[in-house]
């Protein structure tokens, strides 16, 4: 049995930085990773997908080149080996960087293998047994494959396997019209595939406001993506041409025949094979590790960070978990999960930048509200760029004058939303932002104008 000051399981978005802080504080750390350093974001999530989004954007703009007065000779062709090669290189560089960083860290012992608890203070990795008074779980998640009819009879893609494709599917059927599915749908449509999105719910990306969801549908349909919503019973079956997807929708044909099908219906935590029961660590019904406001599990000395605790589903939330734990354990701080304002982006083009509550969540509170909305066609920078799809909107509490939430669905929306996020984090009233002097011409410069248009909600 080898003794350490701390054990970290999983080299995702929180673990490696935590190892850095703990070893700098003089602790010995055993770091266990079973597969690829950098976890989901680096290898099968944010980084490769956003690299492909950039290739897809280049293809889209090339097709529109004539609108900008740029004359090209021939049709746009996609060379998947180059597009995939870019994504592979970006991921590989980041992965190698994380591994090198950990292996070169004084006080950190890296073990490659699957970690499993044997007791609240003991973890087994292959033939080795490790013990420490502090154990940090950063095991992330994987694609959820639902037990839908026929799933065992067809070969399907997930966010991991689709990144290995060396070809553009002839007809990609994306099951799941939410964040992961929509990004892949648009990427492959822009690469030249026929794409159908099949969604069980009545609208795409159902957690967002209805106007956001409808505009996203318009954007995707405008590029030729077929959208089938209210597909209450989805079935899969083999077909000569690939796979047939049964869709019981209120309208449209009952089946879609695709060459490939991507299952993008959610994620599940990597907690089922961690031996949590041997440590007595509690999970919820979906397997997410239950944590308190400072990321501690029910077992003293064990913390859970990142996607596996179900309190965030993003790289920045996993990283923030590390920051909270490091500040509280090493700096005597009392940072809390509940201090975090929800913010994220959907990287279709144009992107959706989101912060705080949706308008419907704010309305459900029953508080008096102020709201404003502006189409991107009335944002100078968007007009100049020839990218006027989407809108920006904001909702604030009419009494406190604090912004409750905002959505910027439009060019630069993933960046511009930070102006709103910053003012919310500062705890300031919205007139502070309204009276700022932003740079012209930017998308952000219209946020003060938007705030000046605030009206009481009916």
Ligand X SMILES: Cc1cc2nc3c(=O)[nH]c(=O)nc-3n(C[C@H](O)[C@H](O)[C@H](O)COP(=O)(O)OP(=O)(O)OC[C@H]3O[C@@H](n4cnc5c(N)ncnc54)[C@H](O)[C@@H]3O)c2cc1C
- Number of C-beta neighbours around residue 30 at 10 A: 25
The kind and range of the H/E element at 31 are: strand 29-33
From the list 94-102, 304-312, 398-406, 449-457, the region that binds ligand X by CB under 6 A is 304-312
Would you put residue 230 in left (φ > 0), alpha (ψ -120 to 50) or beta?
Answer: left
Q: How far is the CB of 123 from ligand X (least distance, A)?
A: 9
Which residue, 42 or 231, has its beta carbon nearer to ligand X? 42
Which residue among 136, 347, 391, 430 contacts ligand X (CB under 6 A)?
347
Tokens of 297: 């599990």
Closest contact distance (angstroms) between CB of 343 and ligand X is: 10
Question: Residue 378 and residue 207: Cα distance in Å, rounded?
Answer: 26
Residues from 60 through 99 that contact ligand X (CB under 6 A): none
Beta bridge partners of 242: 239
Interface residue with ligand X among 8, 9, 423, 433 (CB under 6 A) is: 9
Q: What are phi and psi of 446, to 5 degrees?
A: -85, -5
Among the residue ranges 64-72, 233-241, 303-311, 450-458, the one whose residues contact ligand X (CB under 6 A): 303-311
- By CB under 6 A, tell whether 35 contacts ligand X: yes
Q: Which residues pair with 116 in a beta bridge?
A: 124
Give the x/- contact pattern for ligand X in 236-275, rule: CB under 6 A. ----------------------------------x---x-
Residue from 140, 177, 351, 448 touching ligand X (CB under 6 A): that is 140
Q: How far is the CB of 98 from ligand X (least distance, A)?
A: 9
Instruction: Pick one of 307, 349, 359, 445: the residue that binds ligand X (CB under 6 A).
Output: 307
In sequence order, the 6+-apart residues with CB closer than 8 A to the CB of 80 are 165, 166, 167, 168, 191
Q: Pick one of 315, 357, 371, 411: the residue that binds ligand X (CB under 6 A).
A: 315
- Alpha-carbon Rg for the chain in angstroms: 24
Which of residues 99 and 445 has its CB atom nearest to ligand X in the complex?
Answer: 99
Residue closer to ligand X by CB (options 348, 396) is 348
Residue span binding ligand X (CB under 6 A) among the ranges 4-12, 88-96, 432-440, 448-456:
4-12
The one segment of 167-175, 220-228, 276-284, 310-318 that binds ligand X by CB under 6 A: 310-318
Q: Which two tokens stand for residue 65?
A: 């080149």
**Which of 175-186 are b and which e, b meaning 16 or more Cβ less than 10 Å from the residue's Cβ?**
bbbbbbbbbbbb
Please tell me the count of residues contacting ligand X according to CB under 6 A: 37
> For residue 284, what are the contacts with CB-CB under 8 A and spacing of at least 6?
290, 310
Specify whether the CB–CB gap between 182 and 198 falls below 8 A. no
| Residue 454 C-beta: closest distance to ligand X, Å | 30
Binding to ligand X by residue 316, rule CB under 6 A? Answer: yes
CA distance 129 to 122: 7
d(CA 351, CA 315): 17
CA–CA dist 98, 86 (Å, integer): 19
Asked if residue 225 lies in contact with residue 201, where contact means CB atoms within 8 angstroms, the answer is no
N- to C-terminal Cα separation, the chain: 66
45 lies in the binding site for ligand X (CB under 6 A): yes
Residues 411-440 that bind ligand X (CB under 6 A): none
Q: Which is nearer to ligand X, 140 or 242 (CB)?
A: 140
**Binding to ligand X by residue 303, rule CB under 6 A?**
no
Q: Is 180 in the site for ligand X (CB under 6 A)?
A: yes
d(CA 17, CA 23): 10
Considering only residues 278, 313, 327, 398, which one is a binding residue for ligand X as defined by CB under 6 A? 313
Nearer to ligand X, 187 or 446 (CB): 187
Which CB, 55 or 371, lies closer to ligand X? 55
Distance CA(454)–CA(402), nearest Å, equals 12
Contact status: 39 vs ligand X (CB under 6 A): yes
6 binds ligand X, rule: CB under 6 A: no
Candidate residues 32, 216, 372, 409; the one interacting with ligand X per rule CB under 6 A? 32
d(CA 125, CA 275): 12
CA neighbours closer than 13 Å in the CB half-sphere of residue 227? 25
Which spans of this chain sit near ligand X (rule: CB under 6 A)?
9-14, 32-36, 39-41, 45-46, 49-50, 114-115, 138-141, 159, 180, 270, 274, 306-308, 313-316, 318, 347
């Amino acid at each position: 049995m080898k003794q350490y000051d701390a054990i970290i399981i999983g080299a995702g978005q929180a673990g490696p930085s935590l190892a850095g802080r703990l070893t700098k504080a003089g602790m010995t750390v055993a770091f266990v990773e079973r597969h690829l350093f950098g976890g989901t974001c680096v290898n099968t999530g944010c980084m490769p997908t956003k690299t492909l989004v950039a290739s897809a954007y280049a293809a889209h703009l090339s097709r529109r080149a004539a609108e900008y007065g740029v004359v090209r000779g021939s049709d746009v062709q996609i060379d998947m080996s180059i597009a995939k090669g870019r994504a592979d290189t970006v991921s590989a560089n980041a992965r190698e960087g994380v591994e090198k960083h950990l292996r070169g860290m004084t006080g950190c012992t890296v073990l490659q293998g699957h970690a499993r608890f044997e007791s609240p203070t003991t973890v087994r990795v292959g033939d080795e047994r490790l013990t420490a008074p502090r154990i940090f779980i950063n095991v992330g998640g994987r694609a959820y494959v639902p037990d839908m009819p026929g799933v065992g009879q067809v070969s399907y893609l997930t966010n991991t396997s689709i990144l290995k494709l060396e070809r553009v599917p002839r007809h990609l059927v994306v099951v799941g019209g939410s964040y992961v599915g929509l990004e892949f749908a648009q990427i492959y449509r822009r690469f030249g595939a026929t794409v159908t999105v099949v969604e069980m719910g009545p609208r795409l990306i159902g957690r967002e406001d209805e106007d956001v969801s409808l505009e996203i549908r318009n954007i995707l349909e405008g590029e030729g993506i077929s959208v089938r919503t209210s597909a209450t019973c989805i079935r899969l079956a083999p077909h000569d041409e690939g796979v047939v997807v049964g869709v019981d929708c209120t309208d449209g044909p009952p089946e879609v025949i695709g060459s490939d099908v991507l299952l993008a219906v959610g994620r599940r935590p990597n907690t089922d094979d961690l031996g949590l029961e041997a440590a007595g660590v509690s999970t919820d019904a979906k397997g997410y590790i239950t944590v308190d406001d400072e990321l501690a599990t029910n077992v003293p000395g064990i913390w859970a960070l990142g996607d596996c605790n179900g309190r965030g589903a993003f790289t920045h939330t996993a990283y923030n978990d590390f920051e909270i734990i490091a500040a509280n354990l090493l700096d005597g701080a009392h940072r809390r999960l509940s201090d975090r304002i929800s913010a994220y982006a959907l990287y279709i083009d144009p992107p959706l930048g989101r912060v705080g509550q949706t308008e419907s969540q704010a309305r459900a509170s029953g508080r008096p509200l102020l709201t404003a909305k502006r189409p991107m066609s009335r944002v100078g920078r968007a007009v100049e760029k020839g990218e006027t799809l989407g809108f920006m909107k904001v909702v604030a509490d009419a009494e406190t004058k604090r912004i409750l939430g905002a959505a910027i669905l439009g060019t630069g929306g993933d960046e511009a939303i930070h102006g709103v996020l910053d003012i919310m984090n500062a705890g300031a009233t919205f007139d502070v932002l309204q009276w700022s002097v932003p740079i012209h011409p930017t998308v952000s410069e219209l946020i003060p104008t938007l705030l000046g248009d605030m009206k009481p909600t009916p």
